[in-house]
Structure 1
């Protein structure tokens, strides 16, 4: 569907059929148009990449993204344990 994503982890389908991807290495939330693979950055500035944290136990920490009925986007951030809700304008 799309190439050039940086450590894609969590994914969610929006009501319009587009795909949201949490890119852990860049901290971007990227929207992908399924009809042509076009990418657009929805949000950035998330510190989702936990590689290099040597004191963490060996478990799978995943950056994730979800969509809610009203179009809000929820992002989990494993680097600091936060959950952020993005409200589209």
Structure 2
């Protein structure tokens, strides 16, 4: 909801990425947290899928959780179309 409100602000509809529906948001835990590498992988795949086709942010997230934290390895949604 907040992301949609941001995109609908006056004047933003004139910006080329908004016109082309190429506006992305990053969940705060993925830019202000040790998991930021996962956020960067997601952005890389979203922006340049042909270049970063071998990246697997979900697998990397699960690797970090299971090897470096005491958190349970639960299902997670990292990106949506």
TM bracket (short chain):
under 0.3
Please state which structure has a larger fraction of its residues in helix: 2
> What is the TM-score with the length of structure 2 in the denominator?
0.24
Task: Flag the structure with larger Rg.
Answer: 2
Please state which structure has a larger fraction of its residues in strand: 1
Of structures 1 and 2, the one scoring higher in RCO (CA 8 A, sep 6+) is 1
> What is the TM-score with the length of structure 1 in the denominator?
0.22
